[in-house]
Structure 1
Amino acid sequence: MLHRAARYCTLLVALLVSSSASAQSLEDLLKGSDGLLAPPATQEEDPEVSVSLTPIAGEEQNLLLSVRVQLPEGAYTYSQNPSFLGHSAIDTGRIEGVEPIDTGFLPDHPPKKAYDEIFEQDIEKFTEEVTWYRRFRMLEGVAASDVVVAGEVRYQVCKNTCRQFKHPFEVTVAGEAVERPDVFATAAEAPASAQRSGLEFAFRMVPTRQVGGEPKPDPLSVQFELFPRDAKAGEIVTLAVTMDLEEGWNTYALEPTDDQFQNPTEIEILETENLEAASELTAMPAPELEESELGTANIHRGRVTWSRRFTVQEDAPYGLSALMIYQVCDEASRCLPPKDIEFALGSLQAAPPELAEPVVTPVLAAVSTPDAADAENSVAAPPAGGEREFRFDESDRPAGLGWNLVLAFLGGLILNIMPCVLPVLAIKVLSFVQQAGESRGRILLLNGTYAVGVMTVFLTLASLAVFLGYGWGQLFQYDGFNLVMACVVFAMGLSLLGVFEIPIPGMIGAAAGGDHREGLTGAFMTGIFATLLATPCSGPFMGTTLAWSVRQPALVVYLVWGMMGLGMASPYLLIGLYPRMVNWLPRPGMWMVRFKEFAGFVLMGTVIFLVNAIDEALIIPALIMMLGIALGLWMVGSLYDQTTPATRKWAVRVTACVLAAPILWYGWDLYDRAVVEKELRAANGNDSEQLVVHEDELPWQPFSTERLEQLLAEGTPTLVDFTADWCLICKQNEKFALNTEDTIQFVKENGVVTLYADYTDESPEIKRWLDVFQQNGVPLTVIFPAGRPEEPKVLRGPYSQSHLLSMLKDSVPQPAKTAMAPDSSTER
């Protein structure tokens, strides 16, 4: 229980103090074996590995190589699926006297498949134990005593931490004959096509090319699908070719730019059977325009899917063959030569390529393959290609690094007047008054230190975006982070209200009133708290700029986020350079004490906002913990003063800890139990909350990919609001634009369906849709016009009711204009 509290608190401390550490250091800090997110280290048992080579009963000359891995209790290892970088591998580097029958090793039982949030892909795991088999045939004239198979088993074992193991082996034929395992085909020598059953309509592969006489994999995988596999005459089937590129690599679009010298991607249909083309080849997502010293190019990063539709002609088998040609380059513009892959699917597939593997995750939720994960355990993915290609207006999205840096600076500047920052801004006003009488150099140093605190958080958030894929404000999806932030802000509020004095040298908010001068540490911490509290808000320019930045190289991410931090800190740097700008403030006096107390109440309102963002079952534990904090701080701040002897001070402090600690412990115990229950509900599929709709709100329906696809297929005008309880700008849009009388009336009169996509808690499904519309976080409102769902209208950041209504009017069918009948009185 304590380790969960320690992680949340330590993560907050890391956000407060990390700035100049390298990005790699931050990744190690968060994800390493000794990192903040790693469980406490314990002495773990090593796995046991045994390798044997035995005759197969009833199959003369055939041998069975068995590799058995027995795992410690609670540990797991990975399958041999190469789509995951940490996969297990068995190499047979030396084979004497035998030849392999099978192309690779087969496990004695299938692995468990589950979607991993960190790696953003399905991961295959084995628990307890697993045995991999491979059959060999003895060469003619070779005695069993002359057979040798040697190699190495490489695998990871994960429990609290992941450890890598290498187990070299060298075995000879030994032991009594064993029965052939059930994982092999019935025939002693099953043909390759039989061993690869289930790959006719869908398979994936990691292409390789010869380098120095050895095969070397390309930095990507390609998935080929033709679905559905049971279509009837007149129905549509879709060819989807999906490429997943490793980080730092890109490929090129179907259409090159005028000055592009790299080869575009080509997918040429060579032959079809019982199929007729019904559409052109399209790509999803749309390519990005990259500018470099070498010119411009249309590129794809990450995942891209090319798709084309076909119509089935008769109730008979169907299939196609095609040729794919692609080229990939890295961030330094080092390119591999073009590579071609010829493939066939359906009835035209004689045999899959040698490197073909079963599809683990279909591109579309509707795809079904024998090896696909159970639909109940998978999250419906938004259209990642194949079915829809969205084309939306990007005229408001700046192109090029220069413009994005300018808009990042403006977005950071505007953050200073956003509602989230106002509580801490009041504290900063007090510091300006207290700086009166200080030297110009001292004032510049204090405001510069405040700016360093702001930049610290922005660079830390940039690192989280680079290495963990976090979006703006995404930390507030975690109840533990909200709870720790609420407790810290609660303590700051108590200090401003005079309950106790903040134990940070020079921190504004002492119980003594205005006697203390602002110090460097206090200025630094104020900058940090102001920035952390700003993250639930998203001002103009921020959404598009941050979304653009996270698709760029890491250096650009740091430049953009750092420029945004500089924009937020710029007013204080300007005041540091020109101190006379604050002469309009009154002279220090009793008004400062009252203003400080008022700021304390504002911080208490911030606490309510933070507590409101956590799960309802966690609110009571949070309030109990705050009671313990208030009791302890009240005793420390009120039961002694500066003249009290040291022994009495320590007695009060110890007593405060003794009384407050059990309350805090009880509150955290309730919190930990509630978190466990919430995780169990989520695991059992009972974590869905009922969407409550009030009379003065739009007729919201819960968002789901399935429901949206149904509405789009019906041609229904649909509005989707991507929002979160912790997002103040989202609530502003809902209050002044969405849930207004005029908007509600228009929606009801025109049959617009409104879907509520709640991103308060982490949701892979909603995250994928945000990625589709190239958005780094919420708010985001998308309107799908009637009859034109592939041309959605996108609203980012804050917007007005009039702007929303104009978008809605363009998205619903307009009434037909009828000619006026001529006036009969004028006829002769």
Structure 2
Amino acid sequence: AKGPADAEAVVTVRAEFSVNEGARTGELSVTATIRDGYHIYAMTQPKPFLATQIHIEPSDQVEVSEAFRPSRPAIALRHKSIDVELHEYEGAVTWTTPLRIADAVDPRDLTISGHLLVQACHDQGCLPPKKHPFTAKLNVDNRDLTARTEAAGAPSENPTQAPLDFNKLEAANPSASTLPLFIVLPMAFAAGFILNLMPCVLPVIGLKIMAFAQQAGDSRGRVFVLNLWYSLGMMSVFLVLATLAAFLGLGWGQQFSSVTFNIVLAAIVFVFGLSFLGIWEIPIPGFVGSGAAGDLAHREGAVGAFSKGVLTTVLATPCSGPLLGSALTWAVTQPPLLTYLVFAFVGIGMASPYLLVGAFPKLIAFVPKPGEWMNTFKHILGFVMLATVAYLLSFMLIPYVVPAVAFMIGLGAACWWIGRTLSTASLNAKARVWIQAAAIAAAAGFVSFGWLHGVMKSRFDREVDRSLAARHVASAQDATSSQRDNNELPWQPYSHELLARYTSAGKTVLVDFTADWCLTCKANEAAALNHTATRRFVEANGIVTLKADKTHPAPEVDDLLQRLGNKAGSIPFYAVFPAGNPNQPILLDGLFASPQPIIDALQKAGPSRNDAQRADTTGVRTRR
């Protein structure tokens, strides 16, 4: 007999489908039966716990395009230790979704394959996640779709209300691809210019101010050439981003969802910060402005200017200013040549202030002459860079944070080893020191991510298991309490299933597409979303708020962005699904200075159509 720790014995899965009489449509059902004493999580389960997932193998015989809906609400508990809501199922639960069968296929011969990914847990901990494969065939009874759905306890829909159809969202909200090129190019230029005003680029704008100070008194030709190299550095990044968007479908800022990218960028910014603080000197003339003021050997050169342009643009990508989303959405729906052209205009727009200074050097007359102030300013920039590293670590997956810090300590040791070498040392001596420093950095990386990451992940998993066990003995009051800031909206994690269930129940739904690395998103949350006026309007009109988080890879969030016409995947982005007409959502993007744009969109959508309890429409109820 199988032991209690055997996931196969704890959860059993069966599947079947039915066909509506006289039609090529029907319903696919997947049922999980859970052993007594165990539970699994709903599809709406927030991280770090594993949400149940159903995957259907692609087939040209049948189309399954809508989200699965559960037959009954889940049990909702508040995890006291880490403040995460738990959505659990015990006993048995069935998920259903509509399907459409190809014209030439006999339903009696059709087989639908897939798997159910679940993690079973009990009072003392959790079993490893398990994929349960299933094969669905035609139900012998072939019960009607409506009768089976009502028997399962799904909420009845308003017969006059159009159901949410994910395939019709894009048609209802055509993207910017209809705009003519002569409008898109100025829009792209303006969007690039505005990026210079975003907080993401502030750490490296200071570098450019120092460069302007160094350029004071230089010939007009030299000033123009250096600013041209700086602009080319910016342009090079935009062309790389255009390549990723045109051929890999990478959205604006989406690289920040990659742990590897964030670690590499944090390491680069960290070693730059150490250079600003005088620990070592980056071997690029004039990059940091080291050396005596006016020392030609340390003045900015082409490589330094180009590198600053690259770094400025990379750090700008977490921000998205006005017009940028529309311009990039148009770009990624066009042939590659036009995609490159639009991205290039964004780059030219961002570089335009520096090209203007290059053409008219007198514009930098306001910058003080080179002097001791530059060293003080450089040290301040060093601390700003270290603060940027802390920001990059803030949205990194928890098990990677300590290894990343350990790796940067190793990088700091390597930089210190290089910095202690005299500038008068021979070329061989300098090469030997660099090799030794590279060995220190490599050893730090191996220890940090080859060993320490595994240790931290194990500790994190154990802490989660202990917290899971502890919440079973918590009082009902503690288990159901939910604390949030006074004006914070009652956000719930986005899923296709949850959006479909809310809209089918007559709710107006606001979806916020955001990420922890998106500073513009955070600014909008403070100024427009989590605001007293917005909260009062949401509460008074029964509006549901869902948070579509792109901090880490989120396929369902990316899919909805695509269906809404946001092909570039740029954020911040907002969608309001009106009650009774969810296939015509109201879309917003850009930077907001007040809650009025959000409130106007919610007013246009109208209130929810009924005052049903949230638990009855979300598929989540609270154990009391």
TM-score range (shorter-chain normalised) is: 0.5 to 0.7
Match of 1:709 in 2: 500
Distance (whole Å) between structure 1 residues aligned to residue 430 and residue 179 of structure 2: 61
Q: Tell me whether 1:804 sits opposite 2:506 in the alignment.
A: no
Give the alignment partner of residue 630 of structure 1, picking from 394, 407, 412.
412
Paired residues for 1:674-713 under 5 Å: 694-696=484-486, 697-713=488-504
Secondary structure of the residue that 1:367 maps to in structure 2?
strand
Distance (whole Å) between structure 2 residues aligned to residue 814 and residue 467 of structure 1: 41
Paired residues for 1:311-350 under 5 Å: none
Identify if the C-alpha distance between structure 1 residues 487 and 227 changes in structure 2 by more than 3 Å, giving closer, same or farther: same
Question: Could you list the per-position Cα deviations for residues 293-352 of structure 1 after superposition, in whole angstroms to 9, with x for gaps in the alignment?
Answer: xxxxxxxxxxxxxxxxxxxxxxxxxxxxxxxxxxxxxxxxxxxxxxxxxxxxxxxxxxxx
Q: CA deviation at 1:392?
A: 4.5
Give the alignment partner of residue 405 of structure 1, picking from 185, 188, 192.
185
- Residue 496 of structure 1 aligns with an amino acid whose one-letter code is F
Paired residues for 1:242-253 under 5 Å: none
Structure possessing the higher relative contact order (Cα contacts under 8 Å, 6 or more residues apart): 2
Paired residues for 1:177-192 under 5 Å: none
Match of 2:340 in 1: 558
Q: Tell me whether 1:640 sits opposite 2:421 in the alignment.
A: yes
Identify if the C-alpha distance between structure 1 residues 230 and 745 changes in structure 2 by more than 3 Å, giving closer, same or farther: closer
- Residue 357 of structure 2 aligns with an amino acid whose one-letter code is I
Give the alignment partner of residue 222 of structure 2, picking from 427, 436, 442.
442
Contact 1:482 1:614 in 2 (8 A): yes
Distance (whole Å) between structure 1 residues aligned to residue 605 and residue 370 of structure 2: 57
Match of 1:243 in 2: none
Match of 1:597 in 2: 379
Distance (whole Å) between structure 2 residues aligned to residue 511 and residue 376 of structure 1: 62
Distance (whole Å) between structure 2 residues aligned to residue 360 and residue 625 of structure 1: 50
Identify if the C-alpha distance between structure 1 residues 358 and 420 changes in structure 2 by more than 3 Å, giving closer, same or farther: closer
Contact 2:509 2:545 in 1 (8 A): yes
Distance (whole Å) between structure 1 residues aligned to residue 416 and residue 367 of structure 2: 32
Match of 1:533 in 2: 315
Match of 1:780 in 2: 573
Contact 1:496 1:511 in 2 (8 A): no
Distance (whole Å) between structure 2 residues aligned to residue 547 and residue 520 of structure 1: 33
Paired residues for 1:359-370 under 5 Å: 359=61, 361-365=63-67, 366-368=97-99, 370=110
Identify if the C-alpha distance between structure 1 residues 717 and 780 changes in structure 2 by more than 3 Å, giving closer, same or farther: same
Structure with the larger strand share: 1
Distance (whole Å) between structure 1 residues aligned to residue 457 and residue 63 of structure 2: 29
Q: CA deviation at 1:654?
A: 5.7
Contact 1:359 1:372 in 2 (8 A): no
Contact 1:390 1:790 in 2 (8 A): no
Contact 1:700 1:756 in 2 (8 A): yes
Paired residues for 1:273-292 under 5 Å: none
Q: CA deviation at 1:716?
A: 0.9
Secondary structure of the residue that 1:459 maps to in structure 2?
helix
Q: CA deviation at 1:749?
A: 2.5
Identify if the C-alpha distance between structure 1 residues 595 and 734 changes in structure 2 by more than 3 Å, giving closer, same or farther: same
Match of 1:789 in 2: 582
**CA RMSD across the alignment:** 3.7
Question: Could you list the per-position Cα deviations for residues 212-267 of structure 1 after superposition, in whole angstroms to 9, with x for gaps in the alignment?
Answer: xxxxxxxxxxxxx9312699xxxxxxxxxxxxxxxxxxxxxxxxxxxxxxxxxxxx
Distance (whole Å) between structure 2 residues aligned to residue 364 and residue 716 of structure 1: 18
Q: CA deviation at 1:371?
A: 3.5
Secondary structure of the residue that 1:420 maps to in structure 2?
helix
Match of 1:724 in 2: 515
Identify if the C-alpha distance between structure 1 residues 745 and 425 changes in structure 2 by more than 3 Å, giving closer, same or farther: same
Match of 1:467 in 2: 247
Secondary structure of the residue that 1:421 maps to in structure 2?
helix
Identify if the C-alpha distance between structure 1 residues 482 and 389 changes in structure 2 by more than 3 Å, giving closer, same or farther: closer
Q: CA deviation at 1:656?
A: 4.4
Identical pairs, percent: 41
Distance (whole Å) between structure 1 residues aligned to residue 332 and residue 353 of structure 2: 26
Contact 1:702 1:756 in 2 (8 A): yes
Q: How many residues align?
A: 462
Q: CA deviation at 1:520?
A: 0.3
Identify if the C-alpha distance between structure 1 residues 229 and 500 changes in structure 2 by more than 3 Å, giving closer, same or farther: closer
- Residue 469 of structure 1 aligns with an amino acid whose one-letter code is G
Contact 1:513 1:593 in 2 (8 A): no
> Which has the higher Rg, Structure 1 or Structure 2?
1
Give the alignment partner of residue 290 of structure 2, picking from 506, 510, 524.
510
Question: Could you list the per-position Cα deviations for residues 54-108 of structure 1 after superposition, in whole angstroms to 9, with x for gaps in the alignment?
Answer: xxxxxxxxxxxxxxxxxxxxxxxxxxxxxxxxxxxxxxxxxxxxxxxxxxxxxxx
Secondary structure of the residue that 2:167 maps to in structure 1?
coil
Distance (whole Å) between structure 2 residues aligned to residue 497 and residue 469 of structure 1: 39
Give TM-score, length-normalised by structure 1. Answer: 0.51
Q: Tell me whether 1:751 sits opposite 2:542 in the alignment.
A: yes
Match of 1:374 in 2: 114
Identify if the C-alpha distance between structure 1 residues 785 and 493 changes in structure 2 by more than 3 Å, giving closer, same or farther: same
Secondary structure of the residue that 2:61 maps to in structure 1?
coil
Distance (whole Å) between structure 2 residues aligned to residue 468 and residue 405 of structure 1: 23
Paired residues for 1:210-229 under 5 Å: 226-228=24-26
- Residue 98 of structure 2 aligns with an amino acid whose one-letter code is V
Give TM-score, length-normalised by structure 2. Answer: 0.67
Identify if the C-alpha distance between structure 1 residues 373 and 763 changes in structure 2 by more than 3 Å, giving closer, same or farther: farther
Stretches of structure 1 lacking an aligned partner (at least 5 in a row) = 1-197, 203-224, 232-356, 682-689, 816-828
Contact 1:449 1:523 in 2 (8 A): yes
Structure with the larger helix share: 2
- Residue 363 of structure 1 aligns with an amino acid whose one-letter code is S
Give the alignment partner of residue 443 of structure 2, picking from 642, 657, 662.
662
Distance (whole Å) between structure 2 residues aligned to residue 490 and residue 591 of structure 1: 23
- Residue 610 of structure 1 aligns with an amino acid whose one-letter code is L
